[in-house]
Chains A and B, each alone.
Chain A
Amino acid sequence: MVTEVQLFTEGGQTWEALAPEITLLLGVVMMLIIPNLGDAKWRIPMTQIRLPVLFGGKRFRATSDPQLPAMLAVATLLTALWQAVMSQSGEGQTWYLTSGSGAEANLMLRVDAFSRLMESVFYVALLLISVAMIDRMPAKRGKSLQMKQMINNRRQADFYILLLMSAIGMSVVTMAMDLFMFFVGLEIASLAIFVLVAFQKETPEGAEGGAKYFIVGAISSAVGLYGLSLLYIWNGNLQLLSNTVTGQIGLAEAWGTMDGVGALPLLGLCFVLVGFAFKVSAVPFHFAAPDAYSGASAPIGGLLATVSKAMGFIGLIRVLAMIASPEAESSTVWMMGLGIISLVTMTWGNVAALGSDNPKRMLAYSSVAHAGYMLAGLTAYGAWIGEGNDATTGAGEWILAAILFHLAVLVAFKLGAFLVLALVELDGQITSSKDLAGLAKRDPVIATAMFIFMLSLAGVPPLAGFMSKFLLIGGIVKMSLVDAASGVAMSDLHWTFWLALAVFLNSAISIFYYLRIGVVMFFDAPPEDRRKPLARAWYIRFTIWACLTGTLLIGLNADFLIEYCQTAAATI
Chain B
Amino acid sequence: MIDPTYAIGLGAILFTIGLWGAFTNKNAIIVLMCAELILNAVNINFIAAAAQYGDVTGWVYAVIAIAIAAAEVAIGLAIFLSLYSQRETINLDEVRLLKN
Contacts and interface: CB of A to CB of B under 8 A. Distances in A.
Interface of A: 106, 180, 184, 187, 191, 194-195, 198, 201, 204-205, 207-212, 214-215, 218-219, 222-223, 225-226, 228-230, 232-233, 236-238, 290-291, 294-295, 355-358, 361
Contacts of B1: none
Contacts of B61: 180, 229, 232, 238
Contacts of B19: 219, 223
Contacts of A208: 83, 86-87, 95-98
Contacts of B31: 215, 219
Q: Which 8 A-B pairs have the closest CB atoms?
A: A229-B45, A201-B82, A222-B38, A233-B49, A207-B83, A218-B35, A291-B98, A211-B83
B97 A194 contact: no
Interface in B1-23: 8, 11, 15, 18-19, 22
Interface in B82-100: 82-83, 85-87, 90, 92, 95-98, 100
Nearest to A294: B98
Given A222-B35, A229-B42, A205 B100 contact: no
A358 B98 CA distance: 10
B55 A237 contact: yes
A210 B83 CA distance: 9
A469 to B, nearest CB: 27
Contact of A215 (B28, B55, B96): B28
Contact of B79 (A210, A228, A358): A210
10 contacts: A204-B86, A208-B96, A211-B90, A219-B34, A223-B38, A225-B65, A230-B45, A233-B48, A233-B49, A236-B53
B82 A218 contact: no
Do most interface residues of chain B lie in helix, strand or loop, or is the interface mixed?
helix
B6 to A, nearest CB: 13
A141 B68 CA distance: 38
B22 to A, nearest CB: 5
Do most interface residues of chain A lie in helix, strand or loop, or is the interface mixed?
helix
A483 to B, nearest CB: 41
B54 to A, nearest CB: 10
Interface string B27-56: 010011011001101100110110011010
A236 B57 CA distance: 9
A194 B75 contact: yes
B98 A295 contact: yes
A295 B86 CA distance: 14
Contacts of A184: 64, 68
A357 B45 CA distance: 46
Nearest to A229: B45
Interface string B54-76: 01011001001100100110011
A219 B95 contact: no
B38 A219 contact: yes
A456 to B, nearest CB: 25
Contacts of B39: 222, 225
A222 B28 CA distance: 16
Given A208-B95, A214-B76, A218-B72, A236 B100 contact: no
Contacts of B22: 219
A424 B72 CA distance: 33
B55 A236 contact: yes
A285 to B, nearest CB: 13
B25 to A, nearest CB: 11
Contacts of A207: 79, 82-83, 85-87
Contacts of A212: 92, 95, 98
B49 to A, nearest CB: 4
A211 B79 contact: yes
B42 A228 contact: yes
A291 B98 CA distance: 6
Nearest to A232: B49
A218 B100 contact: no
A204 B22 CA distance: 24
Nearest to B52: A233
A294 B96 CA distance: 13
A244 B75 CA distance: 42
Nearest to A210: B79
A291 B97 CA distance: 9
Nearest to B73: A218
Contacts of A361: 100
B64 A358 contact: no
Given A205-B98, A219-B31, A226 B68 contact: no
Contact of B87 (A106, A191, A204, A290): A204
A357 B99 CA distance: 10
Contacts of B57: 106, 237-238
A191 B72 contact: yes
Nearest to B32: A218
B61 to A, nearest CB: 5
A226 B79 CA distance: 24
Nearest to B49: A233
Contacts of B95: 208, 211-212
A361 B99 CA distance: 9
A371 to B, nearest CB: 20
Given A211-B95, A223-B19, A232-B46, 12 more contacts: A180-B61, A187-B72, A195-B79, A201-B82, A201-B85, A204-B97, A207-B86, A210-B79, A211-B28, A215-B32, A219-B34, A222-B42
Given A208-B98, A222-B38, A191 B75 contact: yes
A211 to B, nearest CB: 5
B15 A355 contact: no
Contacts of B82: 198, 201, 207, 210
Contacts of B85: 201, 207
Contacts of A228: 42
Contacts of B32: 215, 218
B68 to A, nearest CB: 5
Nearest to A225: B42
Contacts of B98: 205, 208-209, 212, 290-291, 294-295
